[in-house]
């Protein structure tokens, strides 16, 4: 499988809600869906300690780390070495998430190290100026997510989605734009892709569902359907 993220793409980001066997079970479901819909990329974000186990249990998803630091081998206890997540099987990484913010200098260094190793970067931005800065730094994917909407079940409005898409594509049309604020239902996924996002994702809408596996399935199916209908 290619480690390059293609669109449309879906990111299942269980944060610290899941680990171990429960996480592997859902990662396997995501893997089946990625095999069924090869026209899209399915990413699963996992805690550092689970990267290797999830990688070994799957073939088609892009295993994604929650963070890494722009350090090199040597000193740096307690930091996340890019080579270590790559060795464990991660081929993409979240950077500058609202729950793990980075300084501009640290972010630029982490993006640079990711490029050296062939790790795809998903850089979070909570405003249009921040999204533009991430585009200039060379992010592969920019997650445009107003921090105050995270976990609220309230999605970004269409004008915000259109403005951020335009601002990023003007800098580099190859950067993929992810819109995922407040995504909690398959309808939210459908609407977000219909409005022009390259990808979306979800956390609590899946982890808190009566059947997380069914919700994950319904969301990925909504993504594929919206993208096909968008043409």
Catalytic residue among 145, 162, 173, 221: 145
Tell me which residue range forms the domain holding 78.
Answer: 9-230
Q: pLDDT by residue for the chain (231 residues), tens digit each?
A: 567 999 899 999 999 999 999 999 999 999 999 999 999 999 999 999 999 999 999 999 999 999 999 999 999 999 999 999 999 999 999 999 989 999 999 999 999 999 999 999 999 998 888 999 999 999 999 998 766 655 555 665 777 888 888 999 999 999 999 988 778 999 999 999 998 899 999 999 999 999 999 999 999 999 999 999 987
Does residue 3 belong to any structural domain of this protein? no
- Token pair 């609590």 is found at 204
What's the pLDDT at 180?
Answer: 83
Does residue 87 belong to any structural domain of this protein? yes
What's the pLDDT at 161?
Answer: 81
Residue in 200, 211, 204 with CA at minimum distance from that of residue 176: 200
Does residue 22 belong to any structural domain of this protein? yes
Does residue 143 belong to any structural domain of this protein? yes
Does residue 128 belong to any structural domain of this protein? yes
What's the pLDDT at 2?
Answer: 60
Residue 159 corresponds to which tokens in the numbers above? 């004008």
Q: Print burial letters for 95-105: b (CB count within 10 Å at least 16), e (below 16).
A: bbbeeeebeee
Catalytic residue among 83, 87, 97, 194: 97
- Structural domain count, the chain: 1
Known active-site residue 79? no
What's the pLDDT at 3?
Answer: 73
What's the pLDDT at 42?
Answer: 98
What's the pLDDT at 155?
Answer: 61
Distances from the Cα of 89 to the Cαs of 50, 51, 95, 176, in angstroms? 10, 6, 17, 22
What's the pLDDT at 150?
Answer: 54
Does residue 2 belong to any structural domain of this protein? no
The reply to whether the predicted model has a pTM over 0.75 is yes
What's the pLDDT at 112?
Answer: 97
What's the pLDDT at 151?
Answer: 55
Q: Print burial letters for 24-51: b (CB count within 10 Å at least 16), e (below 16).
A: bebbbbbbbbbeebeebbbbbbbbeebb
What's the pLDDT at 219?
Answer: 97
Does residue 148 belong to any structural domain of this protein? yes
Does residue 200 belong to any structural domain of this protein? yes
Tell me the residue ranges of DSSP E strands in 149-190. Answer: 176-179
The tens digit of pLDDT for each residue in 6-26 reads 989 999 999 999 999 999 999
CATH, residue 134: 3.20.20.70
């Amino acid at each position: 499988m290619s480690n390059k993220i293609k669109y449309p793409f879906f990111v299942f980001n269980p944060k610290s809600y899941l680990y171990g066997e429960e996480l592997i079970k859902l990662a396997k479901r995501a893997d089946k869906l990625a095999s069924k819909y090869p026209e899209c990329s399915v990413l699963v974000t996992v805690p550092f300690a689970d990267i290797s186990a999830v990688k070994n249990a799957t073939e088609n998803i892009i295993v994604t780390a929650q963070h890494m630091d722009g350090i090199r081998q040597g000193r740096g206890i307690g930091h996340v070495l890019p080579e270590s997540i790559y060795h464990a099987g991660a081929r993409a990484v979240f950077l500058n998430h609202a729950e793990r913010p980075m300084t501009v200098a640290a972010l630029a260094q982490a993006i640079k190290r990711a490029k050296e190793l062939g790790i795809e970067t998903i850089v979070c931005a909570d405003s249009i100026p921040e999204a533009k800065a991430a585009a200039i730094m060379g992010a592969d994917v920019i997650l445009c997510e107003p921090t105050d909407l995270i976990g609220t079940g309230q999605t970004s409005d269409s004008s915000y989605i259109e403005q951020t898409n335009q601002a990023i594509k003007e800098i580099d049309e190859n950067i993929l734009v992810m819109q995922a604020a407040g995504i909690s239902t398959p309808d939210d996924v459908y609407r977000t892709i219909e409005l022009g996002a390259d990808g979306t994702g979800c956390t609590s809408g899946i982890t808190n569902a009566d059947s997380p596996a069914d919700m994950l399935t319904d969301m990925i199916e909504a993504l594929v359907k919206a993208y096909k209908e968008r043409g």
